[in-house]
Chain A
Amino acid sequence: MAAHLEVTYQGQPSRFTLAAIDRKRLHGYTKRVALDADGRECATAHLTRDGRFLLSAGSTADLYLNNEGDSVPRNDLVPVGGDGRALGEPTPTTGRPQEAEGPVSVEELLDCVVVRAYAVTPESLAPALQSALARGGIFRVAHRPRKGTQPAVAFLLANGHGLFLLQAEPSGFEFVGPDQIAAEVDGWADDSDDEFDFDQPERWDA
């Protein structure tokens, strides 16, 4: 089922169909597979470090356990911040018209990282929004396809190929002065979603 976006701008409603786009969908992709001596494709499994268990697909389960070691049902889980306070999970914006705010500055978009991109096809497009987009306006729209704690920031813009919605997260970078030397860090927040990086050894570090 196609996803939709409903926005209002200057009191006029518009409705769009969303089609996710990414590098795979645009250019294809490469997958590295392993073949056995007979040329048959091999499956992957996980071997525990003590060598006792070979775990094929579907042989593990993900749980949340409380202090007593009992499983907590998913529906009972409450997201909390670092200080232990409940964060609340805002409901999805799907099916509810959202206000298109703006036009916003280009810098506001550059202060974010795109986490999802959609090609947008208008089912109905209000004249005011259409002309604003055609003039180069970029609009901020609340967009949260599913329940979650992530910010619901998205930007609606147009280019020569059509309309696009960019779901984004703030990058949080700040100006640095001469005394603010970059510290060494462990790991990289952005390294988890590289769809072509097949050669990294996959490990579960419990």
Chain B
Amino acid sequence: MNQRRIWLADHRGRNAVVALVARRRDGGVQYADAQGAPARFCRVVKGTEATAWERLRTEHSDPELIARALLAGDPEADVETVGRAVGPCDRVFVDGQGKPLYSARPVDVLYDADGRETDRSEPVETPANLVPETPPVWSGRLLSRDEAVRRYAFTRAWQVRHTNALEHDFLHGLAEYLEQQNRLALVGSGPRGTGPLITERNATPMKGFLEGRTRGDRYLLVLHLAAFELRPPQEAS
């Protein structure tokens, strides 16, 4: 069991670590066959590295020899294996001969918007920063709802929720303030609270905005996250 959390500051200089709840999705679409009986998804083995084309090419080299081997013994099909359910797997790296590597050197390759490689660098691990080591700062930057939805593509949203009465008081007050202002508040990292949010290790940096609404003692506080601005590709930097 886990629960994603964020350390939030508010306009009154208070702060608290509160819960983030992901949006609900409809129970997931399932499938049935034409008679209405349930159909379940299954990933099965078609072939292994032992029956792969690369292995055949390495062993027989000449296409004529490969053809003869196919006629003679069906080396491309392992009847004991084909059709077996795959089951749980782990990802491994393989070399040019298809053999697993026990150590590999990771490198970050940078591509531009046209998909051209521009640089290579040593990987840098970027930690998540939703709960920083030092207390967060209220950015004080408010953006009208209208400007926000026209400027950013909000591709993620989490509901900010309380886990006790004190947090409820804190979050309700924040939602009420944002509702009165009729604006979204920029929520970010760094000394001014305006830096990008990184929701998990090495994740895409995103801009975060809080939206608040209230109904009596109930509130709705949503953290909207945007990975990019709305502009045509040719205008982007």
Contacts and interface: CB of A to CB of B under 8 A. Distances in A.
A53 B48 contact: yes
Contact of B217 (A136, A162, A166, A177): A177
A157 B42 contact: no
Contact of A78 (B33, B213, B229): B33
Contact of A182 (B43, B44, B161, B200): B161
A77 interface: yes
Contact of A206 (B43, B81, B105, B199): B43
B89 A48 contact: yes
Contacts of A205: 88
Do most interface residues of chain A lie in helix, strand or loop, or is the interface mixed?
A: mixed
A56 B21 contact: no
A10 interface: no
A113 B157 contact: yes
B202 A199 contact: yes
Interface in A130-186: 136, 138, 149, 157-159, 161-162, 164, 166, 171-178, 180-182, 184-186
A64 B101 contact: no
Interface residues of B, number: 107
A65 B40 contact: yes
A56 B52 contact: yes
A43 B99 CA distance: 10
A30 B24 contact: no
A77 B38 CA distance: 9
Contacts of A3: none
B106 A33 contact: yes
Contact of A197 (B1, B92, B204): B204
A1 interface: no
B232 interface: yes
Contacts of A46: 86, 89-92
Nearest to B91: A202
A127 interface: no
Contacts of A180: 161
A179 B90 CA distance: 42
Given A46-B92, A65-B39, A82-B27, A59 B48 contact: yes
Interface string B193-220: 0000001111110000001011101111
Contacts of B168: 178
A198 B123 CA distance: 11
A125 interface: no
A3 to B, nearest CB: 15
A114 B23 CA distance: 12
A66 B104 contact: no
B146 A136 contact: yes
A185 B22 contact: yes
Given A72-B39, A177-B217, A205-B88, A40 B46 contact: no
A181 B230 contact: no
B32 A42 contact: no
A70 to B, nearest CB: 9
13 contacts: A21-B228, A26-B228, A36-B104, A55-B48, A56-B94, A59-B52, A60-B43, A60-B45, A61-B43, A82-B27, A159-B150, A184-B1, A194-B203
Interface of A: 19, 21-36, 40, 42-50, 53-56, 58-67, 72, 76-82, 84, 86-87, 106-107, 109-110, 113-115, 117, 119, 136, 138, 149, 157-159, 161-162, 164, 166, 171-178, 180-182, 184-186, 188-191, 194-199, 201-206
Q: List the 10 shortest-distance A-B pairs measured between CB atoms, nearest first.
A: A182-B161, A34-B104, A26-B236, A46-B89, A82-B27, A182-B19, A175-B218, A159-B150, A42-B93, A64-B39
Interface of B: 1-4, 19, 21-34, 36-49, 52, 81, 85-96, 98, 100-101, 104-113, 118, 123, 125, 145-146, 149-151, 153-159, 161-165, 168, 199-204, 211, 213-215, 217-220, 222, 224, 227-233, 235-237
